[in-house]
Amino acid sequence: MSLLPPQIQKTIEEFSKLPGIGPKSAERLTFHLLRSSKASPEGLGGSLMTLKNELKYCKDCQMVTLQEQCSLCADSSRDHSTILVVENPLDVVAFEKTSFKGVYHVLHGVLSPIDGMGPEQLKMKELVDRCTDGTVTEIIVATNPDIEGEATASYIQKQLGGAVEKITRLAHGLPMGADIEFADQVTLKEALAGRRDV
């Protein structure tokens, strides 16, 4: 039998479902909302309802937006022949800081059978549809360099191999400021394979 009222227990359970939030963090968040005058449960609830009800996916790139088409896809000065494929909307935010001038495609995940993520759960059909008219000349796959990201990159290459003339993958290797002596074998191998002219 729990000492906490069922409403508090339910809130803790809901917070625990969020990525990176364990039971203790969920308890802290719940009680913070209860006692804080600045963080009101009403404000949080209203924001979450607005998030679900007003946001939609861009008809082209699948980025979250308020309109039918996001501002990046609507920008005619961008290179619409180059599509950078990313896992989630926050990746778009990160790449925008690099002054990338192409457009994006957000998959909303990666292939991960253990997590129930197959091609049907990803925005793969939308990507294939974008590449069928012949205007896309390069797909840059920017999924994470892990097992799921690599599997997704391979799947994209198989799906688009004949439709796009150039499919590339982000280079992997040593990050700026890293010490070579502490790098693992795979990182060093990728750094060698992705070397460039000085």
Tell me how far the alpha carbon of residue 189 is from its chain's centroid. Answer: 26
- In which domain, by residue range, is 19 found? 6-54
8-state DSSP, 176 = T
Residue 15 falls inside a structural domain: yes
Q: Where is mean pLDDT largest: 44-58, 114-128, 173-187?
A: 114-128
- Give the Cα separation of 142 and 105 in Å (integer): 10
pLDDT digits (tens, 9 = 90+) for 44-74: 888 888 888 889 999 999 999 999 999 999 9
Q: Looking at the structure, tell me whether residues 79 and 158 fall in a common domain.
A: yes
pLDDT digits (tens, 9 = 90+) for 18-50: 989 999 999 999 888 888 777 677 888 888 888
Residue 196 falls inside a structural domain: no
Kindly state the average pLDDT of the residues 116-142: 94
- Give the Cα separation of 107 and 160 in Å (integer): 15
What is the domain-level CATH number for residue 34?
1.10.8.420
Confidence of residue 1 (pLDDT cuts 50, 70, 90): low
Q: Looking at the structure, tell me whether residues 81 and 158 fall in a common domain.
A: yes
Confidence of residue 195 (pLDDT cuts 50, 70, 90): confident
What is the domain-level CATH number for residue 117?
3.40.1360.10
Residue 147 falls inside a structural domain: yes
- Give the Cα separation of 198 and 185 in Å (integer): 23
Q: Looking at the structure, tell me whether residues 85 and 140 fall in a common domain.
A: yes
Residue 120 falls inside a structural domain: yes
Number of domains in the chain: 2
